[in-house]
Amino acid sequence: MANSDPVSGQPSQEQLREAFQAGFESIDYGDGFYFGFHAYLESRGFGKKDDIPCTCSDNGAHGHQPECRWVRT
Protein backbone atom coordinates (compact mmCIF):
# COMPACT_ATOMS: atom_id res chain seq x y z
CA MET A 1 0.00 0.00 0.00
CA ALA A 2 1.36 3.41 -0.95
CA ASN A 3 1.57 6.31 1.46
CA SER A 4 -0.64 9.36 1.14
CA ASP A 5 0.71 12.64 -0.15
CA PRO A 6 2.53 14.01 2.92
CA VAL A 7 2.00 17.63 1.91
CA SER A 8 -1.73 17.70 1.29
CA GLY A 9 -2.97 14.67 3.19
CA GLN A 10 -4.73 13.50 0.04
CA PRO A 11 -4.57 9.89 -1.19
CA SER A 12 -1.58 9.02 -3.35
CA GLN A 13 -1.99 8.02 -6.98
CA GLU A 14 -1.50 4.37 -6.00
CA GLN A 15 -4.15 4.62 -3.27
CA LEU A 16 -6.55 6.19 -5.76
CA ARG A 17 -5.86 3.42 -8.27
CA GLU A 18 -6.64 0.85 -5.57
CA ALA A 19 -9.78 2.77 -4.52
CA PHE A 20 -11.02 2.82 -8.12
CA GLN A 21 -10.36 -0.93 -8.36
CA ALA A 22 -12.33 -1.46 -5.13
CA GLY A 23 -15.16 0.59 -6.63
CA PHE A 24 -15.26 -1.52 -9.78
CA GLU A 25 -15.15 -4.72 -7.73
CA SER A 26 -18.07 -3.52 -5.61
CA ILE A 27 -20.11 -3.21 -8.80
CA ASP A 28 -19.29 -6.85 -9.55
CA TYR A 29 -20.63 -7.77 -6.09
CA GLY A 30 -23.89 -5.94 -6.66
CA ASP A 31 -23.12 -2.69 -4.87
CA GLY A 32 -22.48 0.67 -6.49
CA PHE A 33 -19.07 2.03 -7.46
CA TYR A 34 -19.03 4.63 -4.69
CA PHE A 35 -19.75 2.00 -2.03
CA GLY A 36 -16.41 0.29 -2.69
CA PHE A 37 -14.51 3.49 -3.49
CA HIS A 38 -15.57 5.19 -0.26
CA ALA A 39 -15.10 2.05 1.87
CA TYR A 40 -11.55 1.63 0.59
CA LEU A 41 -10.52 5.21 1.35
CA GLU A 42 -12.24 5.20 4.75
CA SER A 43 -10.44 1.98 5.70
CA ARG A 44 -7.13 3.75 5.03
CA GLY A 45 -7.86 6.73 7.27
CA PHE A 46 -9.34 9.17 4.76
CA GLY A 47 -12.62 11.00 5.03
CA LYS A 48 -14.69 13.13 2.68
CA LYS A 49 -14.81 16.72 3.92
CA ASP A 50 -17.59 18.67 2.22
CA ASP A 51 -16.67 21.86 4.08
CA ILE A 52 -13.26 22.32 2.40
CA PRO A 53 -12.48 23.75 -1.05
CA CYS A 54 -12.41 21.48 -4.08
CA THR A 55 -9.27 19.32 -4.23
CA CYS A 56 -9.58 18.36 -7.92
CA SER A 57 -6.47 18.98 -9.99
CA ASP A 58 -8.47 21.39 -12.22
CA ASN A 59 -10.43 22.93 -9.30
CA GLY A 60 -13.63 21.34 -10.57
CA ALA A 61 -13.58 23.06 -13.96
CA HIS A 62 -14.79 19.85 -15.62
CA GLY A 63 -16.90 18.58 -12.74
CA HIS A 64 -15.69 16.97 -9.56
CA GLN A 65 -13.64 13.79 -9.57
CA PRO A 66 -14.58 10.92 -7.22
CA GLU A 67 -11.54 11.69 -5.03
CA CYS A 68 -12.51 15.35 -4.56
CA ARG A 69 -12.35 16.45 -0.91
CA TRP A 70 -11.00 13.14 0.42
CA VAL A 71 -8.25 13.91 2.93
CA ARG A 72 -6.47 12.18 5.80
CA THR A 73 -8.58 12.42 8.96
How many domains does the chain fold into? 1
**Residue 2 resides in a domain:** no
| Residue 7: per-residue pLDDT | 47
Asked if residue 43 is part of any domain, the answer here is: yes
Provide DSSP, 30-55. TS-HHHHHHHHHHHTTEEE-TTS---
Does residue 25 belong to any structural domain of this protein? yes
**Is residue 5 one of the residues assigned to a domain?**
no
Domain extent at residue 65: 13-72
- Residues with pLDDT less than 70, the chain: 1-8
Does residue 3 lie within any of the structural domains? Answer: no
CA distances from 66 to 14, 21, 23, 34, 43 (A): 15, 13, 10, 8, 16
Has residue 7 been placed in a domain?
Answer: no
Is 44 contained in some domain? yes
Q: Which residues contact 42 (CB under 8 A, 6 or more apart)?
A: none
Identify the pLDDT of residue 16. 97
In a domain, 1, yes or no: no
